[in-house]
Structure 1
Amino acid sequence: MSENKFVEVSAFSKIPFRYRVSSLVIAISLLVLIGIVLDRTVNGFFSIVLSFLFIIALVFIVKKWIVAKLEFNRSPFKKLKQFIVVNKLYDEETSDVSKDNKRKKVVVNSAFFEFNSTDDELIIRALKNGDKYTDKANTYDSMLGALFGLEVSNKVDNVNYCDYIFNTKADERLIVRENELEYNQSTIIPLNSATVWDIQKFPHALIVGATGGGKTTFINFLIIEMLKMRAELLICDPKHSDLYSLHHFLGTERVAGQPNHIARVVRTAKEIMDARFKEYKGDSTSYGKNYRSFDLPPVFLIVDELGALRMGAEKKVFAEMFQNLQEVILKGREMGVFVILATQQPNAQNIPTEVRDNLALRVSLGNLSQEGLRMTFGAIDGDLQTVEGVGSGYVFLEGLGWSKPKSYQSPFLDYENFNFIEELKKYANIAN
């Protein structure tokens, strides 16, 4: 957005003239004056017509002013001016002499705000001018949220100002139904109407779901979207739950449940990555190219409940598996090998910080403890609110400048009109 679209508000700001009662009085006075002048030049029938037109014009002017005034009363300008006054974000001094020779208080300093409003977004900018209000500029999250009745979706704090960004149009949840066979030629997976996951820009994902939060349904959605990319899937499920049952359709070479088998599948992902590096990145002509440059399909390694695997596997087996997993997370993006980790209980043992920080997409579903949210998203500026409904939670994409996770509703799979297994078969080219 261009800077000249921002409107400044402070304790010094005056209500724009067009919204004052005086502007209405002047408009009506001009109308009356014009009516008097015209009335003296016409008679009879034309005088009646003139009076009728005068009444219509009077009603039009008053109505238009009232509508404009009501809109102004709901405007960010009016709300911010009241915010400054109510919270005493200004300084006054008593003047020595005024026009009526009486001492009175005058504003000598103020907190300064700017706003920029579009159909989709409202930005409130708290300016930092090096005065006593500078340190407060990045502390208005909850106060501004309450003032506008919106949740701060992002916050950008720098040396000159702090932007509070509000979405004025709610993100729409995706409703997934059965459709005709349609492949995805891009690197983008939609998450809702406004947010997409570009696997090339933001590789790897962490999905955390409390019991009944909708984690499995979200993973089902991602699996179909990955298959639309003609991707190869590798799945590890040490708890032998729903994901493990997919070995009936995808084969035991790609879906594992036992620790040794899981270690082998993770090793397969690393070997695919290493083989691609060796074949496609071996000479100078490959500089700056990635897996899409060579028309290679993406590979997704889904590992559910790393903590259960840690508990069930021999120490040596787990150590080897985890080392291979880390290497894929660190190097896999360039050659199109991506990792999705899923868990119910995020903690430093299940998802070490050095691993989490390399997972660009992070999603929590259901209500987690504040500690669980911190382990999922890292340091959070303020607490996140409780969510309601299956599939509700928070989403965070590393690298977009988000200051904290955003409220999120994962795609709704309309199971009355969507058969996951049949969709899986269709995109995985599995015969019925």
Structure 2
Amino acid sequence: MSKLTVDQNQAQISYKKHRAYIFLLKIWAIATLTFGVVLNVKNVIPSISRGEIIFENQSLKLMFLLLLMSVVIISLWEFLHSRYSPIEKWKLEKLLRGFTEESDLLRQHDNSFNQTKSIKWLYSISDSLIIIKLMTGGHVNSEMEKDIARRLHGYFVKETRVSWVLEDRRIKDRLIMMVFSHEADKRLVIEDILSLRQSNELNIQLTQRLSWTIRQPMGLVVGPTGSGKTSLLKVLIISFLANNHKNKVFTIDGKEAFLSVAMSRIGKVATDGQSALELTAELCQIMQQRYEEMNADVDSEKDSTHAELFEQGSILLIADELLALVGEMQASDKMLKPTERIYPQFYSNLMSLIVKGRQASISVVVSGQQMPASILPTETRDSLGLRIALGRMSQQQAQEIFGLGLKDLPRADTSNYGGLIWLDGLDWELPKPFQSPYYDDEKLPFKATLSNIAEAQGGGLPQA
């Protein structure tokens, strides 16, 4: 991280530069006169008696050449440290100085809480990201701290007229950290199964920069009809199966639609309350068996997942259109005795998988057009480290999915299968705008690809 301390305003800096340049010019003038006199004493005095003055101007030429070189060097230095600099680091430093001035962060120090006489910036620049930290030292009030990132972003755009994207911002212990880039995160195009990432653990690329990993094994995908939810589920399923040829997918389809028909080629599918209960019960039994295998050696110090220890692959449960399935279960349960009702048993199994499945290498993705708190309460939702909302959201949905008001969420382009994403464990303060991967059905037909995977399981990665 490079450091920049700003303790003077632009007028003070300009005045000091002006004084320094005048001082250097005076030194040059005195040196030029001195050298001229010293070098010409031996020529000028004898030449007076002959009625002519012989003046050696070689020193004068050298001093003017030195002056010219100094002007060029200083001009080049000023240019390289200006906002037009081709060097990103120096250009950024100039911008930070300008923002400090324009935002009035630097003021004459007094005893007021929101006054300070120095501002400290830390910054680093890589090929894709620019990380900037502002150390306020407790002198900038909290309301202003919250607005710094937005104002700095606007200042960058105004002064440079190039694309700036505010990727992230965090405020902690009087330190504001902001992450910028010059290009927004790019959407993935899924058109070849062989190009998908492979690993022993869950590691699925969602965008050019974001991945769904073992850190967030439980997921929630919400979106209205036409928002791209089914296409995203296709990406997750195909990527999960390509991730490791030993991986398996179980499917619950509450509407008994396209997904259930397709997924029957690769694994077990449930489309009603009873079959969903049986499927989740089977997964809970597998989870219990895996925990027994992991704990068989009571003296083992390894704290690893089942996939890491035994290389048997991971399991993914896709519970699509869960709200529709729950509605059906609750309607049929009204005709049954309390001890025979399906939904409480199914709910208990599903919650157990979400809360305890990670260590057993079992992941769960719940999806639907809506996901009210009655289906996934807050304590369960907190276990869903991956949350994606596609399309437009209501105030209630914003609270249910992200626990925030609609006005507190960043704006996202929802016109082209976009929305918001939250990935736990990355120290994000807010969800991020998200462009759902594009699944190319023409180049990678979903049902045909699943059939190929089913035929190739146990024999390496399938051919597309």
TM over 0.5: yes
Gaps in structure 1 of 5+ consecutive residues:
94-106
Alignment of 1:239-388 (within 5 A): 239-250=255-266, 254-287=268-301, 288-291=303-306, 292-313=308-329, 314-315=332-333, 316-379=341-404, 382-388=408-414
Q: 2:454: which partner in 1? A: 428
Q: 2:148: which partner in 1? A: 140
Report the RMSD for the aligned CA atoms in angstroms.
3.7
Separation in 1, partners of 2:250, 2:152: 46
Structure 1 window deviating more from structure 2 (137-146 vs 185-194): it is 137-146
Q: Which has the higher helix share?
A: 2
Distance change in 2, residues 1:286/1:65 (3 Å): same
Separation in 2, partners of 1:426, 1:42: 86
Distance change in 2, residues 1:17/1:429 (3 Å): farther
Q: 1:236: which partner in 2? A: 252
Larger gyration radius, structure 1 or structure 2:
2
Q: 2:221: which partner in 1? A: 207
Separation in 1, partners of 2:282, 2:69: 80
Distance change in 2, residues 1:224/1:67 (3 Å): same
Pick the aligned partner of 2:101 from 57, 82, 85.
82
Q: Are the aligned partners of 2:265 and 2:451 in contact in 1 as well (CA < 8 Å)? A: yes
Whether 2:57 is the aligned partner of 1:40: answer yes
Question: How far off its partner does 1:239 sit?
Answer: 1.0
TM-score of the pair, normalised by structure 1: 0.80
Q: Are the aligned partners of 1:126 and 1:137 in contact in 2 as well (CA < 8 Å)? A: no
Q: Are the aligned partners of 2:223 and 2:391 in contact in 1 as well (CA < 8 Å)? A: yes
Q: 1:112: which partner in 2? A: 119
One-letter code aligned to 1:294? F
**Deviation digits for residues 225-284 of structure 1 (CA, Å, limit 9, x no counterpart):** 110122110010111222112144225xx1121221122112221111112122332331
Distance change in 2, residues 1:73/1:306 (3 Å): same
Distance change in 2, residues 1:20/1:56 (3 Å): closer
Distance change in 2, residues 1:50/1:84 (3 Å): closer
Question: How far off its partner does 1:334 sit?
Answer: 0.9
Distance change in 2, residues 1:327/1:388 (3 Å): closer
Q: Are the aligned partners of 1:176 and 1:414 in contact in 2 as well (CA < 8 Å)? A: yes
Q: How high is the sequence identity, in percent, across the aligned residues?
A: 22
Q: 2:53: which partner in 1? A: none
**Deviation digits for residues 192-215 of structure 1 (CA, Å, limit 9, x no counterpart):** 22222212x222111122332211
One-letter code aligned to 2:3? F
One-letter code aligned to 2:155? L
Structure 1 window deviating more from structure 2 (333-342 vs 5-14): it is 5-14
Structure 1 window deviating more from structure 2 (62-71 vs 290-299): it is 62-71
Separation in 2, partners of 1:286, 1:61: 67
Q: 2:43: which partner in 1? A: none
Distance change in 2, residues 1:389/1:18 (3 Å): farther
Structure 1 window deviating more from structure 2 (322-331 vs 345-354): it is 345-354
Distance change in 2, residues 1:110/1:176 (3 Å): same
Question: How far off its partner does 1:112 sit?
Answer: 3.5
Pick the aligned partner of 2:189 from 156, 175, 181.
175
Structure 1 window deviating more from structure 2 (143-152 vs 343-352): it is 143-152
Structure 1 window deviating more from structure 2 (341-350 vs 137-146): it is 137-146
Separation in 1, partners of 2:170, 2:147: 12
**Deviation digits for residues 82-126 of structure 1 (CA, Å, limit 9, x no counterpart):** 3332xx763578xxxxxxxxxxxxx97447352414131232425
Q: 1:100: which partner in 2? A: none
Separation in 2, partners of 1:19, 1:234: 71
Question: How far off its partner does 1:377 sit?
Answer: 1.6
| Secondary structure of residue in 2 paired with 1:390 | coil
Q: Are the aligned partners of 1:367 and 1:387 in contact in 2 as well (CA < 8 Å)? A: no
Q: How many residues align?
A: 406
Distance change in 2, residues 1:419/1:156 (3 Å): same
**Deviation digits for residues 293-316 of structure 1 (CA, Å, limit 9, x no counterpart):** 111210000101221111111332
Q: Are the aligned partners of 2:187 and 2:207 in contact in 1 as well (CA < 8 Å)? A: yes
TM-score of the pair, normalised by structure 2: 0.75
**Deviation digits for residues 22-41 of structure 1 (CA, Å, limit 9, x no counterpart):** 67777888899999979933
Distance change in 2, residues 1:212/1:68 (3 Å): same
Pick the aligned partner of 1:6 from 3, 8, 11.
3
Question: How far off its partner does 1:328 sit?
Answer: 0.8
Separation in 1, partners of 2:7, 2:222: 43
| Secondary structure of residue in 1 paired with 2:359 | helix
One-letter code aligned to 1:7? L
Separation in 1, partners of 2:428, 2:196: 32
| Secondary structure of residue in 2 paired with 1:311 | helix
Whether 2:170 is the aligned partner of 1:162: answer no
Q: Are the aligned partners of 1:247 and 1:256 in contact in 2 as well (CA < 8 Å)? A: no
Whether 2:416 is the aligned partner of 1:390: answer yes
Q: Are the aligned partners of 1:114 and 1:125 in contact in 2 as well (CA < 8 Å)? A: yes
Q: Are the aligned partners of 1:224 and 1:427 in contact in 2 as well (CA < 8 Å)? A: no
One-letter code aligned to 2:411? Q
Separation in 2, partners of 1:387, 1:224: 25
Whether 2:237 is the aligned partner of 1:220: answer no
One-letter code aligned to 2:145? A
Q: 1:418: which partner in 2? A: 444
Gaps in structure 2 of 5+ consecutive residues:
37-55, 158-163, 334-340, 457-461
Q: 2:132: which partner in 1? A: 123
Distance change in 2, residues 1:171/1:25 (3 Å): farther
